[in-house]
């Protein structure tokens, strides 16, 4: 998997390629709404990973499954570092992969692909924690307001009682 094949080339639908083509590929030619691409010289990505990324850009479910299977362990470990509950970590992992698959054409290849995925996963975990914290604060505010109301009513009942 570590062999580098800078001559890897493929066909990609024009409407799916966006930014990744400008940064990572040389366009060889265009035919019937597709681009024939070649990875730019000096690409330090394995042939397998290049193939998977292009498949994910094209929406290929098999490529998405391969990417998921290859990185789920590493990304789940990141989720577990941020989240105590396994269920929460699994939810964040799923959200991370959804974002990875929808934003994969924005990957600029300036850093490692794994690092890019890790950054997305960390950001998703932090957003999840912020949401939990916000919900927790709202719950506490509601509870405090309710307790204040109960105290006020108890105090009012004591002052107005006929005993």
DSSP string, 12-61: EEHHHHHHHHHHHEEEEEEETTEEEEEEPTT--SBHHHHHHHHHHHTT-H
Residue 52: pLDDT band with limits 50, 70, 90: confident
Share above pLDDT 90 across residues of the chain, in percent, rounded to a whole number:
36
Q: How many domains does the chain have?
A: 1
- CATH number, domain of 92, equals 1.10.1740.10
pLDDT at 138 over 70: no
Range of the domain at 121: 9-160
Residue 117: pLDDT band with limits 50, 70, 90: very high
Residue 4 belongs to some domain of the structure = no
Residue 17 belongs to some domain of the structure = yes
| 82-97 per-position pLDDT tens digit | 999 999 999 999 999 9
């Amino acid at each position: 998997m570590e062999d580098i094949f800078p001559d890897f080339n493929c066909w990609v639908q024009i409407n799916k390629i966006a930014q990744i083509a400008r940064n990572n590929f040389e366009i060889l030619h265009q035919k019937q709404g597709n681009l024939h691409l070649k990875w730019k010289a000096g690409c330090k990505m394995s042939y397998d990973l290049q193939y998977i990324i292009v498949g994910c850009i094209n929406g290929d479910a098999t490529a998405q499954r391969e990417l998921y299977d290859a990185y789920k362990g590493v990304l789940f470990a990141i989720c577990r570092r941020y989240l105590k509950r396994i269920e929460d970590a699994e939810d964040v992992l799923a959200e991370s992969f959804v974002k990875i698959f929808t934003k994969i054409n924005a990957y600029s290849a300036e850093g490692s692909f794994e690092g890019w995925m890790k950054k997305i996963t960390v950001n998703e975990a932090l957003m999840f924690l912020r949401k939990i914290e916000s919900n927790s604060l709202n719950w506490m505010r509601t509870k405090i307001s309710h307790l204040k109301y109960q105290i006020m009513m108890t105090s009012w009942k004591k002052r107005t009682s006929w005993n």
